[in-house]
Each structure stands twice: as structure tokens, then as C-alpha cells.
Amino acid sequence: MRTFLQPYTFKKGITLKNRVMLAPMTNFSSADNGETTPEEREYYRVRSQGAGAVITACANVTRGGKGFPGEIGAERDELIESLGELADTIKGEGAKAILQIFHGGRMAPPHLLPDETPVSASAVAALRDGSVTPRELSLEEIDEIIKAFGDATRRAVKAGYDGVEIHGANTYLIQQFFSPHSNRREDKWGGSLEKRMRFPLAVVNEVLEAAAEAEQDFLVGYRISPEEMEEPGITMEDTLQLVEVLADQELDYLHVSVQDFHAGSMRDNTDKRSRVQLIQDTVGEKIPVVGVGSLHTPDEVEQAMENGVPLIALGRELIVEPQWVEKAENGREDEIRTELSVDDREKLTVPEPLWNAIVNTPGWFPVKEHAAK
């Protein structure tokens, strides 16, 4: 049997039916008030039939942290029922349900925020077209956001999830505190590498405390982006020190966010080593590492796991082929689709807002114009 089809048991005793996770991908399909929608839940239901675990799109922990239109909300108790409907949908198909929790920080679009002002570690704009300069968070606000991550975790527990994933990647608030580009603070939350680690670690501690209140075993993962292009920015050396510290917490896994599992450094063209494999080699004996990134076929997934990475998340692949795992299990690998046509939305059970993003973002997905007649 292929490695990725074998069950996996975490230290806490929670067992996945296989080692494939649905990667957290924004789908823009929740209601404006943060409630999950029937169309969104059906999208997850179909993909929960094969995957061992489903990590949801990110859910904001405060109103001021909303990063996308149509985002899942986890910032108030009224959303527990809606969150529970999604958890039940995922678990009803045999997958573990993991809610990704996050704060958009300076990447949050102003029009989605109550006061139309993004916040961050410091008043430094992202180096992207159209970026606005965020407001620097006060000490009191930092404490409130840390607490909000804990409160969102408690809601996930009440809603019946099997775990949460702390989104410390993809340039959002937790990464903004770790980055020397976005964090220019001179108080206890910024400056040295150790001080820039404090916010991520405070969030981890708060979430772990909330998770410990659960009556059942409850997973806590952490997603990380290894490097940044900016100067100053996060280097691989910074990240390897951070993952060493994270590996000593009571976390259940570390999820590495990269576009390509095998890609080398984005800062140093001469460094061709896989960022995922570097992290696996550094802390893999202490904490399970989840690899991801441009792994399309079962052979590619199997090859990525050859050097010890125990879990693989698939995002685009499970959108293009919702039955990826089932076809791999049943010897139908040659039937796994690797591209989609603009006519395939209903066949693939993709919500319309996500579908519009797919077909209107050149290069993101392998899209052909129309299906063959």
C-alpha cells in the first residue's frame, strides 16, 4: 500500500484514515455575517469522503481581522451553530475536521473592517500594489487579539471540531509579528528574533490552554511560511530557530506553506534545498511535518514522502479532482483529472465565488476553455 494511504495516529491518539489532508484554501463562500453556507458545506462534504483530514479555509478571530469577502467567521458565539454544521458535514464523511484560525493584520481589505483601518505590529505597509499603511496595535489590543485566538478555539471545540490550525503563514498577522519587515516595534513584542517570536508563541500558548479544556482529544497545528522576499524579511535561518521553539510546544503538527514542495530558497537562488525537507530534517523527529505544494499525482505525493515527511496537504489537486484519494485507493490513478474546463463547476462541486476566482486568475489552476464534446 502506498504510504499516503496508510493511517496516521498523532501522539494524542487521534487517527487519520490516511495521510492526505485537504489544504486550507480560501473559498469566498460564507455569508457576509460569517456563517457557512449550504454551497460551501457541500464543497467540503465531497472532498471529505477521501481525505484523512480537512483543514478549512481561514476563519477570522476578530471582526478587525477579516481578510477576505465570504470568509468563515469564528469571532463570536453566535457562529458556533454554523461552525458546527460545517464540522458535522466533514466528520460525517469520515474525515477529521480542523478549523484554521487567523487574523489578516495589514493584509485585511479596509472595506471589510468595522473602522476600515487594518492593523499590524507596526505602521508599515506591505510591498504590494494598493497596500495601505496599517495602524500599529497598542499593547492592550495585542492582548485582546491573543485572547481572541483562544476564544475562537473554544468555539471550535463547542462546534465539534477535531482541532484547529493556527495560521502563522502567508503574510498575515502572526507572520507580521515575526517578520522584521512588518514588525519595527521597540517594546517587548519586537526587535530581536526572540522578541519577534513572542506574539506567535503567545498565540500558541493561548490556543493550547483553550484546547486543553476540551473533553475530547483536540489537535492544534501551526502553519508557517519559511521565507519572505522583503528586505529586511524572514530568512530560513530565522524560521529554523522558530520551528525549533515551536517543536518544543505541545503542538500536534507543523504545516509548511509553500507553492512547490521541492522549491528552494526564494531569497538565495543558489540554495536549491526543499524548504519543507529542511524543516522536516530539523524538527521532524519532534513534531509531525505537513508538506504541500504542486504535488499533482500519487507518484509525486509518494516521492515527496520518501525522506520522512509523514503528512501531505493537497489543495488545488482536490479541487480539480475531488475523488483524488478514492481513485488512488482503487487503482484508478490514470483517471485522476489534472486540469479543469470552464464548464466543470457543478460537476466538481465548487462554490461559484471560488470558481470565479479560479477561472479569472491566470496561472493559478490548469484551466482549459471548454470540455471536449
Nearest to 44 by CA among 98, 103, 101, 102: 98
Nearest to 156 by CA among 200, 114, 210: 210
Check the CA dihedral 17-19-20-22 and report its sign.
Answer: positive
Count of C-beta atoms within a 10 Å radius of residue 214: 16
Distance CA 304, CA 251 (A): 23
User: Is 43 labeled as catalytic in the residue annotation?
Assistant: no
* Catalytic option among 8, 44, 161, 172: 172
Q: Are strands 8-9 and 15-16 parallel, antiparallel or unpaired?
A: antiparallel
Distance CA 337, CA 152 (A): 37
In angstroms, how far is CA 79 from the centroid of its own chain?
A: 20
3-state SS, one letter per residue, for the chain: CCHHHCCEECCCCCEECCCEEECCCCCCCCCCCCCCCHHHHHHHHHHHCCCCEEEEEEEECCHHHCCCCCCEECCCHHHHHHHHHHHHHHHCCCCEEEEEEECCHHHCCHHHCCCCCCEECCCCCCCCCCCCCCEECCHHHHHHHHHHHHHHHHHHHHHCCCEEEEEECCCCHHHHHHCCCCCCCCCCCCCCHHHHCHHHHHHHHHHHHHHHCCCCCCEEEEEECCCCCCCCCCCHHHHHHHHHHHHCCCCCEEEECCCCCCCCCCCCCCCCCCHHHHHHHHHCCCCCEEEECCCCCHHHHHHHCCCCCCEEEECHHHHHCCCHHHHHHCCCHHHCCCCEECCCHHHHCCCHHHHHHHHCCCCCCCEECCCCC
Q: List active site positions.
A: 172
